[in-house]
Chain A
């Protein structure tokens, strides 16, 4: 199958890949660009393990063809650390036990990252609604919610928000 060249910004760096038109963004991120932080749980847009930040929106990267990423700004979990420092969400997930097996975690972090930009001070109900596209089988969500609340407080206090790559 003939391949198409796609250029986009991944975690702040320009990248160039040759892809088949049918290739999903998640596969290109993981297989070609070796960013294996984003995971695959269904490939049918249900689980959210593949969630990335795409032009300022949360997107399930199994729902997009890689060619649709032309000129896009994509952030994955690998881009959350800035200047060697964990993002407040990463720190909060660790502090509040917001993860167990870690498989949903990158997607959950990327969704929370965007959620807090959309709504810097969400209520519990808003968080529950806001992460409802991301499934977790391990935590029962309660500590994830706590983690997001804690990160929101830290960000609101310190003004820390953007990932390095944003």
Chain B
């Protein structure tokens, strides 16, 4: 049926899929009425502050609380000894390990949690922290993961001595956590042995931190009378948290309510469960009063969810024309003092095996060894899926190095290796089935937009004059949307997601999901999907997340899983409702269901344009006049278990100039083309791309969580840790192609992480391209002016 002007008008009014409607969450944010965790104030609430270790590795000889307890306003001081009788001094991590809630006889990283002071006021709690006296006996620390498995290395985790596994197979040393492999080692080695060309490079993804502007925190409130525990918390995954809390505390899950209202940015930082949350909960259980714990910025940067610290040795084998024949990546992963790495049970190295990228690489082998060091635990996915940035960084750097070695243009070598459009669905040599892609046209579009040939000419001219100009390319493929429950679970729980929709008698609707927005605008995009599927204006659809008492169970928002998994659940729940609505319409119109067709917001009898029932009329009938044998009401729940991940891709070009005397880098241009399949709201997608590119810029140009040999963190405030301001941040140019996912009900893929994942290698490739004529094949991030200046000195460029 052709769309009439009248039906187009009705469609427009819905503000559904494909329209850049304004965000439903903004009115509260622009008026200062968001509710973030530190805005929660409950009657009788007290405050917790943590005493932390100044040492990276030490034995605790004694803790003296007397002076703190003597301070007026201090209510109690909790240590591991107080938690022991409740069996709450250790907690499970999301990486199949355990972590000390409060240090149990020993600390393993600087600023580890040792005690919590609870006081009537925030300032008094902080004063109390200064009065707790802890005596330590310092132990030698390990901060270089390459030394973790030395025969005489000090043992970091005495609690694990004698255990030959931490959830992921055999350990080789007391400081070893696991070995994980994928691919075929023997055939990979065989290809390398006889290859015409091989290259090898040590490539580090340094330790960084997602650093959302809001730190982590919670308000725990235990009701002693009915045994209910309510926790307001900065978490990207409230349901998983509730399950862990139930396992940990023995309180039935039905009596635990985790509430997350607004979150001030997450980027992976707010996935794990941190000791501060648990101690605040225990304190509330003990005291019967609400306890608030809010991290300071220094605590946030020093102790919660770092990312990366992946030390790679990457190799490619190819023929002389640059066709890659095999890939071999070995990684040493620094997980810090506890394995709090967020990973699905079967994927201790996350989705690192996506490292064959956009390329048709017939043979591959990867191996990741994870070790303990005396650094903060973590290994979160900083605006990416688990270990995908690390993987994409290695392949996108390596293909550049191969091009350099063979003197092939860096765009051309990518074209030669691309998986072709007709090869999809494509099975990679490391076991993934890429759902859809069309890489060549995307790259061509970008090269044309930036006049790539012109840029290369200009670069040649500049080089002749001693100037340093770099052109970086990245043609990445991501893997997002964890994930099929047959392949992915956390703590035994599958990574499906959920949606429940209820249509009210007057035709408005409320929908609840198991995901959690941290600024991505779920209230808006989910409402748009339902609007299109059900013909209800998106303004009349109330979307709620982040309250475990209300929303159906879901694994939360991380790893760009909201669109691939959550939005699919939304779509399918809406379609269940539409199926029921069709039955009701048939009943009202006294025709068979087959005689009806859906038209924007109504069912009508085919060929009889004035015989219609609008969604509004159907909604009312659902509560008053349903066909015989049908239940009243108009609602549905869907738990969506995706058949596969989705594989968004993109082509990016970055142009930079380096000042040969100061090492300063100026980003002249950054052009990003993304393909995330079907687009729900262009405005929001663009916003996500801008944000992700800016975080990529931050990582590649300045972020670093660094330590000295004793395990002292070198710089843990915003004075030292690089968060770009508007001045440094480049201007972004965006573009897109649309290659829908064949298995997603809307054809949509995830998007918010692509710019981060694809952007980081693009910047590095540009920086190294600027130096490539000087024989440089690789320089590790971050590319700060000081580090580049040093490099230029070594090269004899800067005088």
Contact B725 A135 (CB under 8 A): yes
Asked whether A15 is an interface residue with its Cβ less than 8 Å from the other chain, the reply is no
State whether the Cβ of A86 lies closer than 8 Å to any Cβ in chain B.
Answer: yes
A118 an interface residue at 8 Å Cβ cutoff?
Answer: no
Is A100's CB under 8 angstroms from B694's CB? Answer: no
Contact among A23, A81, A103, A127 for B213, CB-based, below 8 A: A103
Partner of A99, one of B26, B297, B717, B732: B26
Residue of A106, A128, A135 near B718 (CB, 8 A) is A135
Stretch at the interface among B258-266, B425-433, B451-459, B472-480: B258-266
A58 interface hit (Cβ, 8 Å): no
Q: Is the CB of B518 within 8 A of A101?
A: yes
> Cβ of A139 and Cβ of B687 under 8 Å apart?
yes
How far apart sit A100 and B688, CA to CA, in the bound complex (Å)? 9
Contact A142 B725 (CB under 8 A): no
Q: Is the CB of A128 within 8 A of B727?
A: yes
Could you give, for residues 708-732 of chain B, a 1 whenever the CB lies within 8 Å of some chain A CB and a 0 otherwise? 0000000001110001011101011
Known: A94-B22, A132-B727. A76 touches B32 (CB 8 A): yes
A153 CB-CB contact with B under 8 Å: no
- Let me know if A14 is at the binding interface, CB within 8 A: no
With both beta carbons as reference points, the residue of chain B lying nearest to A40 in the complex is identified as: B38
| Residue B214 is within 8 A (CB to CB) of chain A in the complex | yes
A144 on interface, CB distance cutoff 8 Å: yes
Size class of the contact patch on chain A: 35 or more
Query: How many residues belonging to B are interface residues under a CB distance threshold of 8 Å?
Result: 55
A103's nearest neighbour on chain B, judged by CB, is B264
- A41-B215, A132-B725, A137-B695 as given contacts; A36 in contact with B32, CB under 8 Å: yes
Determine how close the nearest CB of chain A comes to the CB of B302; give it in whole angstroms: 13
How many angstroms from the CA of A134 to the CA of B726 in the assembled complex?
A: 8
Contacts of A35 in B (CB 8 A): 32
Query: Is A25 at the interface (CB under 8 A from chain B)?
Result: no
Assess the B731–A47 pair: CB atoms within 8 A: no
- Tell me the nearest residue of chain A to B696, going by C-beta: A140
B36 proximal to A (CB < 8 A): yes
Closest chain A residue to B22, Cβ basis:
A94
Nearest-CB residue, chain B, relative to A78: B32
List which A93-116 residues lie within 8 A (CB) of chain B.
93-95, 97, 99-106, 109
**Per-residue interface assignment for chain B, residues 246 to 278, with 1 indicating a CB less than 8 Å from any chain A CB and 0 otherwise:** 000000000000000011110100000000000
Produce 1/0 per residue, A35-59, CB < 8 A to B. 1111111111011010000000000
Residue-wise, chain B 724-749 has the 8 Å CB interface mask toward A (1 for contact) of 01110101100000000000000000
- The answer for the CA separation of A132 and B694 in the assembled complex, in Å, is 14
Please tell me if B212 contacts chain A, counting CB pairs below 8 Å.
yes
CB-contact partner of A137 in B26, B41, B211, under 8 A: B211
Interchain CA distance A104-B265 in the complex, whole Å: 10
Q: Which of A62-109 contact B (CB under 8 A)?
A: 76-78, 80-81, 86, 90, 93-95, 97, 99-106, 109
Q: Is the CB of A145 within 8 A of B518?
A: no
- Establish whether residues B718 and A27, one from each chain, have CB atoms under 8 Å apart when the complex forms: no
Contacts of B38 in A (CB 8 A): 30, 36, 39-40
Whole-angstrom distance between the Cβ of A119 and the nearest chain B Cβ: 15
Main secondary structure of the interface of A (DSSP, over half): loop
One digit per residue, 1 when the CB lies within 8 angstroms of any chain A CB and 0 when it does not, for chain B 519-540 equals 1110000000000000000000
Q: Is the CB of B31 within 8 A of A102?
A: no
Task: Kindly list chain B residues whose C-beta atoms are within 8 Å of the C-beta of A106.
Answer: 32
What residues of A have a CB within 8 angstroms of the CB of B683 in the complex?
97
Task: Say whether A100 contacts B521, CB under 8 Å.
Answer: yes
Chain A contacts with B in 129-166, Cβ cutoff 8 A: 129, 131-145
- Report the minimal beta-carbon distance from A43 to chain B, rounded to whole angstroms: 7
- The reply on B791 being an interface residue by CB < 8 A is no
Note all chain A residues with C-beta closer than 8 A to B34: 102-103
Q: Is B150 an interface residue (CB 8 A)?
A: no
Assess whether A94 is in contact with B23, with CB atoms less than 8 Å apart: yes
Q: Is the beta-carbon distance between B30 and A109 smaller than 8 angstroms?
A: yes
When distances are taken between beta carbons in the complex, the residues of chain A under 8 Å from B267 are 137
Q: Name which of B25, B265, B732 has the most chain A CB atoms within 10 A of its CB.
A: B265
Nearest neighbor of B683 in chain A, beta-carbon distance: A97
Contacts of B503-519 to chain A: CB distance below 8 A: 518-519
Identify A44's interface contact among B33, B684, B717, B731, CB under 8 A.
B717
Q: Is the CB of A141 within 8 A of B729?
A: yes
Verify A99–B30 contact, CB threshold 8 A: yes
Within 8 Å of chain B (Cβ to Cβ): is A121? no
Q: Is B690 an interface residue (CB 8 A)?
A: yes
* Docked CA distance A137–B726 (Å): 11
Interface residues of B in 678-703 (CB under 8 A from A): 683-684, 686-688, 690-695
Q: What B residues does A138 contact at CB under 8 A?
A: 265, 519, 687, 691
Task: Determine whether the beta carbon of B30 is less than 8 Å from that of A86.
Answer: yes
Q: Do A129 and B727 touch (CB < 8 A)? A: yes
Q: Mark B418-442, 1 if CB is under 8 A from A, else 0.
A: 0000000000000000000000000
Enumerate chain A residues within 8 angstroms of B520, measured Cβ to Cβ. 100
Nearest-CB residue, chain B, relative to A41: B213
Contact between chains at A97 and B23 (CB < 8 Å):
yes
Give, as a whole number of angstroms, the nearest-CB distance from B267 to chain A: 7
- Separation of A57 and B417 alpha carbons in the complex (Å): 57
Give the Cβ gap from B534 to chain A, nearest Cβ, in Å: 25
A149→B263 CA distance, assembly (Å): 27
Q: Is B790 an interface residue (CB 8 A)?
A: no
Q: Which residues from chain B contact A103 at a C-beta distance below 8 Å?
A: 34, 36, 212-214, 264-265, 519
User: For residues 2 through 28 of chain B, which have their beta carbon under 8 Å from a beta carbon of chain A?
Assistant: 22-23, 25-28
Instruction: Given contacts A102-B25, A134-B725, A142-B731, list 11 more A-B pairs with CB under 8 A.
Output: A30-B39, A39-B213, A94-B23, A101-B519, A102-B519, A104-B264, A138-B265, A138-B519, A139-B690, A142-B732, A143-B686
9 contacts between A and B (CB under 8 A): A40-B38, A47-B213, A86-B31, A99-B26, A99-B29, A106-B32, A129-B727, A132-B726, A135-B723
Q: Which residues of A are interface residues toward B (Cβ below 8 A)?
A: 20, 22-23, 27, 30-31, 34-44, 46-47, 49, 76-78, 80-81, 86, 90, 93-95, 97, 99-106, 109, 127-129, 131-145
Closest 4 CB pairs of A and B: A37-B32, A101-B519, A103-B264, A102-B29
